[in-house]
Amino acid sequence: MTLLSVRDLTVKFATRNEPVTALHGISFDIAQGERVGVVGESGAGKSITGFALMNLLSKPGFIDSGQILFEGQDVTQMSDRAVRKLRGNRMAMIFQDPMVTLNPVLTIGQQMIETLRAHRRLSYDEARQIALVKLKGVYIPSPEERLDQYPHELSGGMRQRIVIAIALLLDPQLIIAD
Ligand SMILES: Nc1ncnc2c1ncn2[C@@H]1O[C@H](COP(=O)(O)OP(=O)(O)O)[C@@H](O)[C@H]1O
Ligand SMILES: [Mg+2]
């Protein structure tokens, strides 16, 4: 079954003059369970593609035309509220820079538990249990201790794995790894 269908997606950046086209009408499909790699030189538009799929393009970037059908619904036409519900829950993005995802003033556990409880009806203890399972899933040593640490107490590689664990928290259908 097709999970994601991108049709003629064009992304532009507004400038003082003519908008600049970053993505020129790209189309591709991803089936359930399929892994798709996107290859291209730096500046080719890989990250912009991911941001567009998550409806996370920030100004001056905008979707100029095209469709992003996720589970049959066009993400480009959804309300902000509907997209927020989808994000993290049905589709998640692993950002290149872990500090984009991690909040420096909250412990790893607080961030994971908060994310889980924002989307699911879970007690604090239930959420903590799931967070622990996800940390184990990315082979984090001493996961219990990590839950009480702040991002700055961890190495870069460890932070990257935490970010992956956070993306996997809600068992999304689609994971975009930038
Ligand atoms: N803030 C911006 N303003 C104008 N153009 C931008 C901006 N961010 C990205 N772009 C354009 O989008 C293109 C694709 O960028 P990106 O998706 O980050 O490439 P990469 O394939 O390296 O991930 C860049 O080459 C640039 O032309
Ligand atoms: Mg990139």
Instruction: Map tokens 């996961």 to a residue.
Output: 143
* Cα 18 to ligand 2 centre (Å): 23
- Nearest-CA residue for ligand 1 atom 16 is 45
pLDDT tens digits for range 1-46: 899 999 999 999 999 999 999 999 999 999 999 999 999 999 999 9
pLDDT value of position 176 = 96
- Compute the chain's Rg from CA coordinates: 17
The minimum-distance atom of ligand 1 relative to the CA of 42 is 22
User: Helices (DSSP H) in the chain: which residue ranges?
Assistant: 46-53, 80-86, 98-101, 108-119, 124-137, 143-147, 156-168
Question: How confident is the prediction for the chain on average, in pLDDT?
Answer: 95
Positive or negative: CA dihedral 100, 105, 110, 115: negative
Model confidence over 133-156: pLDDT tens digits?
A: 999 999 999 999 999 999 999 999
Cα separation, 74 vs 67, in Å, equals 6
What letter would DSSP give residue 54?
A: T
Rounded distance between C-alpha atoms, residue 30 and residue 16, angstroms: 36
Mutational pocket test of ligand 1: of 10, 11, 12, 13, the residue with most ligand atoms within 8 Å of the beta carbon: 13
Q: Alpha-carbon distance 122 to 43, whole Å?
A: 41
Residues at CB less than 6 angstroms from ligand 1: 13, 20, 22, 40, 42-48, 60
Residues with Cβ < 8 Å from 104, sequence gap 6 or more? 150, 151, 152
Which amino acid does the sequence have at 83?
V
Mutate to test the pocket of ligand 1, among 48, 56, 64 (most ligand atoms within 8 A of CB): 48
Distance from residue 41's CA to the centre of ligand 1 (Å): 11
